Amino acid sequence: MTRERRELAQQLQFFDCSIWLGKPQGFPLADELLPETLASTLSDRFITGGLVSHWHGNTISAQDVNTAVIQGIDGRDNLSAIWTGLPLFPEEDGELPGCVEPPSCVKGVRIFPKSHGLPLEHWSVGTLCDWLAKRNMPLLVWHTEVDWQSLYRLAERFCNLKIVLETQPRKILYHTRPLFALMRDCANVLVEISNFVGAGFIEYAVSNFGAQRLLFGSFLPVNDPLVSIGMLLDAEISHADKAAIAGGNLRQLLSEVQS
Amino acid sequence: MSCAAIIDAHMHVGQPGVFFAPETTLDHILYRMDQLNISSAICTDNQSLTNVSMESMAELRSNFERSGSRIHYLAVYDPRRANECIEMIRECQDWAGLAGIKIHPSFHGVSAEDESYDGIWQFASKNSLPILSHTWSSSDYNPIQRLSTPERFERYLKTYGDVKFVLGHAGGRGAGRHDAVRIVNEYPNAYLDFAGDVFCHSLIESLVDSVPVEKILFGTDFPWIDPRANLSRVLLADIPTSAKQYILHENALSVYDLRCD
């Protein structure tokens, strides 16, 4: 049972869209993931690489965090960075997407509408969304940072923008009714699965919306990657769909980003 | 690891209401149990948590029978209806499949050390029934959980040292886990399960390092959480095979006094 699981986990080549440097906020018992232990922590849990963010993206300045995350991944080929974004107006100085051209290792932008006091509306974040859509660069957002109505409007209005809805840092379980309705209506919304753990969610999403809508995420170092890995190993979906969710979809998404 | 019979020591059956899940019924859980080689489970139904009654208990007994004696069940004790609940549990205590008592201080809004729980601890002691409680960590966004933090149970753990007590969810994702670990080490009758979304990195390895392995129980919290979310964490954990066997099987047999068929 264990050997087969381990072999399948290695075959699936997990590629992770939710790796976090910095001291986790709100999880007092979680250890910080340090740049020097990043590689071993990932390989211990079958993860081949992915997208790295910084915990302080919503608590200290976006500019400082964007510099820190680039330093954290330190040119590793298997890792790319997510920057924290702000609206392009009013214009702000420093390392911000849209204000400067990010390094080529930056493959996504996350916004924190509630923490940064941003209405998730076109008149506030629309220019940033246009900037991202032109580069095929995904926009990432925690579900706790949005209200569903605004997210729906934004996804409809910017239908060429890939929006990755993240299921952290608290349960998304209690929002599955709007979540699945949003997935039904907005094909440009993808869902990160580190907390997509209700009974039968993977099979339901794959059969109703397609495997291409799900992205493997671990939420390291807060979560154990074996949670979402376990959901996929035993999922009753085809091997091709498992491989797509485990890493194929994210690799494809990142390959389309124009620096 | 070859594990003949995994036991899910903490699950639920029935529509949760507060969210949508594609799989909630007895048939769903039996299907998943077969897929994952889970032979038995300890179950509370969502109806009993809200409003325990002889009807809800009868439904649980019926589930036990329909499942081929696989889905054992707990009787919910609501401290706001103390005497009524104890009478009800007394009537059911010899029913086939009854494995113990469930309390949920946060759900019922009565703190775990409140004296209204004394009657059920006394009853559990006299009748050799284990108690499983929801436990969690206090947080700004979920303040009701302060009623179920692990240290609140110590009053009764001290008084009723003969009652096997399981700290469900191992004290939760926050600071409550520190106390859960301390309590399990301090009290011979205290155990913990890691059902639910206590998804902390390397939790299984950490628990095996910090408490006796015979005190750790595997649980899922179905349908809140898919059984697959917690199973690979054990099967792929960097712990001895014998520890996996205790966690997935032996400990639940012992705490809930199940017969291994």
Identify whether the C-beta of residue B11 lies closer than 8 Å to the C-beta of residue B219. yes
B118-156 per-position pLDDT tens digit: 999 999 999 999 999 999 999 888 999 999 999 999 999
**Whole-angstrom distance, CA of residue B43 vs CA of residue B222:** 9
8 Å CB contact of B232 and A30: no
Position B34 scores a pLDDT of 97
CB atoms within 10 A of CB A231: 25
A166-201 per-position pLDDT tens digit: 999 999 999 999 999 999 999 999 999 999 999 999
Write out the DSSP string of chain B.
---S-EEEEEEEES--SSS--S--SHHHHHHHHHHHTEEEEEEEEHHHHHH--HHHHHHHHHHHHHTTS-EEEEEE--GGGHHHHHHHHHHHTTSTTEEEEEE-HHHHT--TT-GGGHHHHHHHHHHT--EEEE-----SS-GGGGGG-GGGGHHHHHHTTTS-EEEEGGG-SSTHHHHHHHHHHH-TTEEEE--SS--BTTHHHHHHHHS-GGGEE----TTTS-HHHHHHHHHTSSS-HHHHHIIIIIHHHHHTT----
Which domain covers residue A131, as residue numbers?
Answer: 2-255
Residue B203: pLDDT band with limits 50, 70, 90: very high
CB atoms within 10 A of CB A32: 12
- B30: chain A residues, CB-CB within 8 Å: none
Q: Set out the domains of chain B in order of their start, with CATH numbers.
A: 6-255 (3.20.20.140)
% pLDDT > 70, chain A: 100
Mean pLDDT across A216-224: 98
- The alpha carbon of residue B221 and the mean position of all alpha carbons in its chain are separated, in whole angstroms, by 8
8 Å CB contact of B20 and A180: yes
| Cβ of residue B226 closer than 8 Å to a chain A Cβ | yes
> By C-alpha distance, which of B100, B109, B55, B99 is closest to B78?
B109
8 Å CB contact of B225 and A176: no
- Nearest by CB to B175, which of A28, A176, A198? A28
Residue B4: pLDDT band with limits 50, 70, 90: low
A126-136 per-position pLDDT tens digit: 999 999 999 99
- A6: chain B residues, CB-CB within 8 Å: 236
Q: In chain A, how many domains are there? A: 1
A98-118 per-position pLDDT tens digit: 999 999 999 999 999 999 999
| Cβ of residue B25 closer than 8 Å to a chain A Cβ | no
Residue A58: pLDDT band with limits 50, 70, 90: confident
> One-letter amino acid identity for B31?
Y
- A233: chain B residues, CB-CB within 8 Å: 228, 232
Per-residue pLDDT at B260 exceeds 70: no
**Whole-angstrom distance, CA of residue B216 vs CA of residue B237:** 14
Residue A132 maps to which CATH number? Answer: 3.20.20.140
